[in-house]
Amino acid sequence: MSYCSNCGAKLPKDAFYCPKCGVKTVLGAEKTAITLEDLRETFNRIEKEFEKAFALATKEMHAAFKKAMENIQQEPPKETVTCSNCGEKNLKDAIFCYNCGTKIEPKTEEKV
Ligand SMILES: [Zn+2]
Ligand SMILES: [Zn+2]
Protein backbone atom coordinates (compact mmCIF):
# COMPACT_ATOMS: atom_id res chain seq x y z
CA MET A 1 0.00 0.00 0.00
CA SER A 2 1.40 3.41 -0.92
CA TYR A 3 0.47 6.89 0.23
CA CYS A 4 0.20 10.19 -1.58
CA SER A 5 3.37 12.20 -1.28
CA ASN A 6 1.33 15.40 -1.23
CA CYS A 7 -1.61 14.81 1.06
CA GLY A 8 -0.79 11.42 2.60
CA ALA A 9 -4.01 9.77 1.45
CA LYS A 10 -4.03 6.04 0.95
CA LEU A 11 -3.65 5.22 -2.72
CA PRO A 12 -5.42 2.37 -4.43
CA LYS A 13 -3.24 -0.23 -6.04
CA ASP A 14 -2.12 0.83 -9.54
CA ALA A 15 -3.23 4.42 -8.93
CA PHE A 16 -1.44 6.89 -11.19
CA TYR A 17 -3.04 9.92 -9.54
CA CYS A 18 -4.10 10.57 -5.99
CA PRO A 19 -7.90 10.24 -5.81
CA LYS A 20 -7.99 12.91 -3.13
CA CYS A 21 -5.73 15.73 -4.41
CA GLY A 22 -4.97 14.71 -7.97
CA VAL A 23 -1.19 14.69 -7.58
CA LYS A 24 0.61 12.22 -9.77
CA THR A 25 1.82 9.22 -7.82
CA VAL A 26 5.25 7.63 -8.12
CA LEU A 27 3.64 4.89 -10.16
CA GLY A 28 1.98 7.49 -12.36
CA ALA A 29 5.27 9.28 -12.94
CA GLU A 30 6.96 5.99 -13.80
CA LYS A 31 4.15 5.01 -16.10
CA THR A 32 4.32 8.32 -17.96
CA ALA A 33 8.10 8.16 -18.20
CA ILE A 34 8.04 4.60 -19.51
CA THR A 35 5.37 5.47 -22.05
CA LEU A 36 7.34 8.41 -23.39
CA GLU A 37 10.51 6.36 -23.44
CA ASP A 38 8.75 3.51 -25.23
CA LEU A 39 7.34 5.93 -27.75
CA ARG A 40 10.75 7.42 -28.39
CA GLU A 41 12.30 3.98 -28.76
CA THR A 42 9.57 2.93 -31.15
CA PHE A 43 10.18 6.01 -33.28
CA ASN A 44 13.91 5.42 -33.21
CA ARG A 45 13.39 1.80 -34.20
CA ILE A 46 11.10 2.73 -37.07
CA GLU A 47 13.57 5.37 -38.23
CA LYS A 48 16.45 2.90 -38.09
CA GLU A 49 14.46 0.22 -39.90
CA PHE A 50 13.53 2.73 -42.57
CA GLU A 51 17.11 3.89 -42.95
CA LYS A 52 18.27 0.29 -43.13
CA ALA A 53 15.67 -0.60 -45.74
CA PHE A 54 16.47 2.51 -47.72
CA ALA A 55 20.21 1.86 -47.57
CA LEU A 56 19.63 -1.73 -48.67
CA ALA A 57 17.43 -0.65 -51.57
CA THR A 58 20.03 1.89 -52.65
CA LYS A 59 22.74 -0.75 -52.42
CA GLU A 60 20.70 -3.22 -54.46
CA MET A 61 19.97 -0.54 -57.03
CA HIS A 62 23.67 0.26 -57.29
CA ALA A 63 24.51 -3.43 -57.66
CA ALA A 64 21.85 -3.92 -60.33
CA PHE A 65 23.01 -0.83 -62.17
CA LYS A 66 26.65 -1.95 -62.00
CA LYS A 67 25.68 -5.41 -63.28
CA ALA A 68 23.67 -3.91 -66.11
CA MET A 69 26.60 -1.69 -67.06
CA GLU A 70 28.92 -4.70 -67.01
CA ASN A 71 26.52 -6.65 -69.22
CA ILE A 72 26.36 -3.78 -71.69
CA GLN A 73 30.13 -3.51 -71.74
CA GLN A 74 30.60 -7.26 -72.16
CA GLU A 75 28.21 -7.52 -75.04
CA PRO A 76 29.89 -6.96 -78.41
CA PRO A 77 27.32 -4.71 -80.07
CA LYS A 78 28.12 -5.33 -83.74
CA GLU A 79 28.91 -9.03 -83.76
CA THR A 80 25.78 -10.54 -82.27
CA VAL A 81 22.10 -9.88 -81.86
CA THR A 82 20.28 -10.96 -78.74
CA CYS A 83 17.05 -12.89 -79.06
CA SER A 84 14.23 -10.94 -77.47
CA ASN A 85 12.49 -14.18 -76.53
CA CYS A 86 15.17 -16.36 -74.94
CA GLY A 87 18.08 -13.95 -74.64
CA GLU A 88 20.40 -16.15 -76.66
CA LYS A 89 23.04 -14.40 -78.71
CA ASN A 90 22.76 -14.97 -82.42
CA LEU A 91 24.89 -13.87 -85.34
CA LYS A 92 24.10 -10.32 -86.33
CA ASP A 93 22.57 -11.36 -89.68
CA ALA A 94 20.40 -14.08 -88.17
CA ILE A 95 16.72 -13.69 -88.96
CA PHE A 96 15.49 -16.39 -86.64
CA CYS A 97 16.90 -17.36 -83.27
CA TYR A 98 18.84 -20.60 -83.56
CA ASN A 99 17.82 -21.50 -80.03
CA CYS A 100 14.06 -20.94 -79.93
CA GLY A 101 13.08 -20.07 -83.49
CA THR A 102 11.68 -16.65 -82.70
CA LYS A 103 12.06 -14.06 -85.41
CA ILE A 104 14.69 -11.60 -84.37
CA GLU A 105 13.57 -8.03 -84.76
CA PRO A 106 16.30 -5.51 -85.40
CA LYS A 107 16.77 -3.20 -82.45
CA THR A 108 15.19 0.15 -83.18
CA GLU A 109 16.86 1.85 -80.24
CA GLU A 110 20.35 1.46 -81.70
CA LYS A 111 20.12 4.56 -83.83
CA VAL A 112 23.38 6.40 -84.33
ZN1 LIG B 1 -2.99 13.33 -2.51
ZN1 LIG C 1 15.58 -17.24 -78.89
Are 46 and 9 part of one and the same domain? yes
User: How close is the Cα of 23 to the center of ligand 1, in Å?
Assistant: 6
CA 29 to chain centre: 36
CA distances (Å), origin 25, targets 1, 35, 36, 38, 41 = 12, 15, 17, 20, 24
The reported pLDDT for the residue numbered 9 is 94
Query: pTM here?
Result: 0.32
Are 26 and 52 part of one and the same domain? yes
Are 20 and 50 part of one and the same domain? yes
In a structure prediction context, what are the per-residue pLDDT tens digits for the chain, which is 112 residues long?
789 999 999 999 889 999 999 999 988 888 777 777 788 888 899 999 999 999 999 999 999 989 888 877 765 556 888 898 999 999 888 999 999 999 987 665 555 5
User: How close is the Cα of 77 to the center of ligand 1, in Å?
Assistant: 85
Q: How many domains does the chain have?
A: 2
Are 40 and 7 part of one and the same domain? yes
User: How close is the Cα of 80 to the center of ligand 2, in Å?
Assistant: 13
Are 18 and 69 part of one and the same domain? yes
Find the domain containing 94 and state its range: 76-112
* All residues with CB under 5 Å from ion ligand 1: 4, 6-7, 9, 18, 20-21, 23
Are 11 and 60 part of one and the same domain? yes
Q: Which residues contact 41 (CB under 8 A, 6 or more apart)?
A: none
Ligand nearest to the CA of 22: 1
Residue type, position 18, single letter: C
